Amino acid sequence: MSSKEKLLLFILACINFTHIVDFMIMMPLGPQLMQIFNITPRHFGFIVSAYGMSAGISGFLAAFFVDNYDRKKVVLFAYIGFVIGTFACAFAPTHQFLILARVIAGIFGGLIGAQVMSIVADTFDYQRRATAMGFITTAFSIASVVGIPAGLFLANQSGWHTPFLVIGGLGLIVIFLIIKYVPPIDKHLKNNLEKPNPLTVITNILQNPNQLRALWLSTTIMLGHFSIIPYIAPTLVANVGFSQNNIFLIYLVGGLFTIFSAPMVGKLADKKGKYPIFVIFAFLSLIPIYLITNMFSGAVWAVLFVAGIFFIFSNGRMIPTQAMISNVVAPQQRGSFMAINSSLQLFAQAMAANIGGFIIHKTTSGYIENYAWVGYFAITMIFLSIFIARTVKPIPQPIVINENPVNVS
């Protein structure tokens, strides 16, 4: 990679880092928020899903116009709004106000993920794309290693509002980096002289079975993943006696592992093929999903071992998935398609959080029942995703040989 490409990836990773920490910090704060606001797991599920629902709606609407603008301008606009929403979370006095603040953050945050992936896909050819995706994905790892533990420490020391203040402050720095160092990302505009009718965004997808299968794949994976994620911390604390003060260790250990595993998975997917690597990690991820939803021991070593392999295998299946999905559409329509994809993922996350919240039940003694059934639902979704992914095919890509593009499959 050139130095400019590395700088671009670094800034995109910073965007993802703050975005991911803002989203992820809600889940380990679950036990604390349920106690402070005196709410049930189901109500906590509403707080988590508020972000996903609003982000899903805004992402869907954005699909009708994002390809008509420079991707830098779109991501800058979205990120500024996201930072405003994050500051609103920091000053939420009640759980109702917090839901409203999460909606605001979600409206703008729903645009960010799709635009980051579109910028990567526009900048890096398919043969290098999984490697670039792997680098971007390390933002998730660093968020787990640094962001979540630091956020929980601040929450324990100064109150749950503090992490959102810090994230908002970091966001102001990232806004400066975007303005100063991200170049215009408008190649798709130069190759697309006529602005398409907004309705063609939907009709193009509906008329393309391959794109529909890619969207189905995204939705299925999110349904499996986020039905269990929001309730890991509350269940560990309530059911197996894991200390709330040690929750940060789950994200610390999992993030440390994925810092090393994510780039390797990206390179492996580019070398051996996206689908075969996806299948391997999808099957491997079934093991920690079962273990974490049937946990019987609160021993720190046991919890951290299961959490570690859960992070590695779940993260490992996402990297080739993103590379496959980004390549079922031409660059001129990629921003719109990825916005639709991101929207469906966020809807699926919100739906999954509520599915998990409706399945589990908190008894009068504080024990959370039926979490194992949430695990079985997640396992079913992952099995289904393996069969769907087999049908998703990349479109032919140009390879530059002596500056002459040659289309290859």
* One-letter amino acid of 186: D
CA 292 to CA 225: how far, in whole Å?
12
In sequence order, the 6+-apart residues with CB closer than 8 A to the CB of 283 are 386
Query: Which residue from 8, 173, 146, 179 is spatially nearest to 77, judged by alpha carbons?
Result: 179
The answer, yes or no, to whether residue 257 has pLDDT greater than 50, is yes
The answer, yes or no, to whether residue 188 has pLDDT greater than 70, is no
pLDDT in tens, 319-346: 888 888 878 887 767 767 877 887 788 7
Residue range 115-126: average pLDDT? Answer: 80
Residue range 172-188: average pLDDT? Answer: 88
Mean pLDDT of the chain: 83
Q: Which sign, positive or negative, has the C-alpha torsion 233, 352, 111, 389?
A: positive
CA 296 to CA 361: how far, in whole Å?
17
| Higher-scoring residue by pLDDT: 39, 316 | 316
Tell me, what's the pLDDT at 174?
94
pLDDT band for position 398 (50/70/90)? low
Tell me, what's the pLDDT at 407?
45
The answer, yes or no, to whether residue 193 has pLDDT greater than 70, is no
Least confident of 29-38, 122-131, 221-230, 241-250: 122-131
Q: State in Å, rounded, how far the first CA of the chain is from the last one.
A: 23
Tell me, what's the pLDDT at 404?
46
| Higher-scoring residue by pLDDT: 248, 137 | 248
Q: State percent of the chain over pLDDT 70.
A: 92
The answer, yes or no, to whether residue 305 has pLDDT greater than 80, is yes
The answer, yes or no, to whether residue 197 has pLDDT greater than 60, is no
Contact 231, 368 (CB under 8 A): yes
Tell me, what's the pLDDT at 195?
52
The answer, yes or no, to whether residue 281 has pLDDT greater than 70, is yes
* One-letter amino acid of 93: P
407: number of Cβ within 10 Å: 9
**Residue 379: what are its φ and ψ, rounded to 5°?**
-60, -40
pLDDT band for position 233 (50/70/90)? confident
pLDDT band for position 315 (50/70/90)? confident
Query: Which two three-digit tokens encode residue 260?
Result: 């090393």
Query: Which residue from 108, 94, 124, 97 is spatially nearest to 23, judged by alpha carbons?
Result: 108
**SS3 sequence of the chain:** CCHHHHHHHHHHHHHHHHHHHHHHCCCCCHHHHHHHHCCCHHHHHHHHHHHHHHHHHHHHHHCCCHHHCCHHHHHHHHHHHHHHHHHHHHCCCCHHHHHHHHHHHHHHHHHHHHHHHHHHHHHCCHHHHHHHHHHHHHHHHHHHHHHHHHHHHHHHHHCCCHHHHHHHHHHHHHHHHHHHHCCCCCHHHHCCCCCCCHHHHHHHHHCCHHHHHHHHHHHHHHHHHCCCHHHHHHHHHHHCCCCHHHHHHHHHHHHHHHHHHHHHHHHHHHHHCHHHHHHHHHHHHHHHHHHHHCCCCCCHHHHHHHHHHHHHHHHHHHHHHHHHHHCCCCHHHHHHHHHHHHHHHHHHHHHHHHHHHHHCEECCCCCEECHHHHHHHHHHHHHHHHHHHCCCCCCCEEEEECCEEEEEC
Q: What is the CA radius of gyration of the chain?
A: 20
Query: Which residue from 86, 76, 84 is spatially nearest to 23, judged by alpha carbons?
Result: 86
Contact 151, 36 (CB under 8 A): no
The answer, yes or no, to whether residue 5 has pLDDT greater than 70, is yes
CA 76 to CA 57: how far, in whole Å?
19
Residue range 356-375: average pLDDT? Answer: 86
User: Residue 404 region, left (φ>0) first, then alpha (ψ -120 to 50), else beta?
Assistant: beta
Residue range 258-286: average pLDDT? Answer: 87
| Residue whose entry in the numeric block shows the structure tokens 């170049």 | 183
Query: Which residue from 271, 226, 224, 260 is spatially nearest to 389, judged by alpha carbons?
Result: 224
